Amino acid sequence: MKKDTRINWVLTILLVIGTITVFFPLYMAFIIAFKKSSEMTNDVAGALAFPAHWSLDNFRQAMVVTDFWHSLGNSLLITLATIGLAILIHSVAGYAIGRNMAKRKSFRIIYLYIVSGMFVPFSILMMPLVKQTAQMGLGNRLGVILLYLVFYMPMNILLYTGYLKNIPVVLEEAAGIDGANTWRTYWKIIFPMMSPMHATVAVLTALGTWNDVMTPLVIMAGTGENTLPLAQLNFQTQFGTNYNLAFASYILSLIPILIFYIVCQKQILSGVANGAVKG
């Protein structure tokens, strides 16, 4: 029996359009980052053209303007701390809720209450949170980390409880027969088995925290501490934007999160595939 080799042109055209839509802004950011200010023109041909001379001067200046290494350190600290705490805390909460909400109505209510947090916009919570964190002495990096743990809890709980459906309960029952308590069973058996979902949660949380501007802006205002996205606001003034330095800085900030995604890619694909099939 011959295989159907016909091409789905509609899908192919949509994929090509989607690819161009994604890569065109990256191309523009890349070439502008290497151009001199004198090469910036208003005509389309000039904007799309390669730089006359490739130079790293924009990257050097961008690192000075943004105090790159200090800002990078703050971004790494906040992002890595949020990822680590999110995996530890949210996975435990997801396990407790996921294994009990089918048997106890109270856990089902708790689950719906937490997940409903995804529908609350940050703009509604912003002013109360600014005042509360200031009163509690959390208008700093620690306060930002704690807020991120709360903000990403709904999505992470949703992911962990869904993934738990693929892990047979009989494994826990067998561990219980061997004398292991619930806490030991979780850390020795369930937690390692959820490693694909840990990677998925890590990347989704990292993308959100790494690129976020608003939360550090309103919480850490006046502390003198900047994350990379906050430091990049220095390129925007009331008279305009220095696009050459700005795009150079954007590319520099893209590299760490891109490396992190590449490292976790296989685990993410495994987590998505397993999470899509109900066990």
Q: What pTM does this model have?
A: 0.83
- Say what the pLDDT of residue 80 is: 94
Which of 214, 75, 95, 207 is closest to 152 using CA atoms?
Answer: 207
Per the prediction, the chain carries an average pLDDT of 84
- The string of pLDDT tens digits covering residues 198-256 is 988 998 899 899 989 899 988 988 778 889 988 888 777 644 667 888 888 889 888 88
- The string of pLDDT tens digits covering residues 70-99 is 999 999 999 999 999 999 999 999 999 988
Q: Tell me phi and psi for residue 4, to 5 degrees.
A: -80, 110
Whether the CB-CB separation of 35 and 244 falls below 8 Å is answered with yes
- The string of pLDDT tens digits covering residues 96-128 is 998 888 788 899 999 999 999 888 888 888 888
- Say what the pLDDT of residue 277 is: 45
Give all domains of the chain, ordered by start, each with its CATH number.
9-55 (no CATH), 67-278 (1.10.3720.10)
What CA–CA distance (Å, rounded) separates 91 from 157? Answer: 7
